[in-house]
Amino acid sequence: MLEEANYRKVLRKLDLILSLGEIEHAHQGSIQATLDTQETISEIPHFQHYGFSSFPEASSVGVFVSNGSRNSMACLGEQGPEQHLGKGQTRIYSGKNAKITLDPSGKISIEADQLELRIQRVNPILSLIAALESLATSEVLTPNGPGKIQILPEFLEKIREVKSCVA
């Protein structure tokens, strides 16, 4: 009987230290969640990787840690909807239609309803050359479906000559 009581105490302590839970809502650096122990905790600090900020959607699953007390808890991460990635792929996504996928082959795919770039300094010649080179190798969506833009090899060679002089 005593061993079972001690076992239950250890399990409860582990539940206090490490828990999974469903995020109910998030706001400016903290979240409210219902943990797997059916406890609802609010004002939980949400730690994120440097350079990344996110606002997890309700019903995302979070990983929570504490020092064994529910009044000293933090969310270390959360998992949103499954992204169906291939081996070696990385994806940054929002809860809606925006996705950036990095492929181990070096390909970067961007899916968005709208794309906005803000760049402080640009070399317009190098930017034009990069855009033309990208067009020469990229697949584009045409009225008839996916296709490639045809750029004459002689023109591409001239572009590369100019690039070597400017760069």
Structure-derived torsion over alpha carbons of residues 119, 88, 75, 37, reported in degrees to the nearest 10: 150
Phi-psi region of 148 (alpha: psi -120 to 50; beta: other; left: phi over 0): beta
Q: Is the pLDDT of residue 147 over 90?
A: no
Position 167 scores a pLDDT of 62
The answer to whether the CB of 60 falls within 8 A of the CB of 78 is yes
The string of pLDDT tens digits covering residues 102-123 is 988 988 888 888 877 777 777 7
Q: Is the pLDDT of residue 11 over 70?
A: yes
> Which 8-state DSSP code applies to residue 58?
T
Where in the chain are all domains bearing CATH 2.40.50?
Answer: 2-79
Task: Note the pTM of the prediction, 2 decimals.
Answer: 0.57
The string of pLDDT tens digits covering residues 148-167 is 666 777 777 887 788 777 76
The string of pLDDT tens digits covering residues 23-80 is 998 887 789 999 988 889 999 999 888 878 788 888 889 999 988 877 788 998 888 7
pLDDT band for 140, please (50, 70, 90 cuts).
Answer: low
- CATH top-level class of 2-79: mainly beta
Mean pLDDT (the chain, rounded): 81
Q: Is the pLDDT of residue 2 over 70?
A: no
Q: Edge-to-edge strands of the sheet including 108-111? A: 90-93, 99-102, 108-111
Radius of gyration of the chain (CA): 25
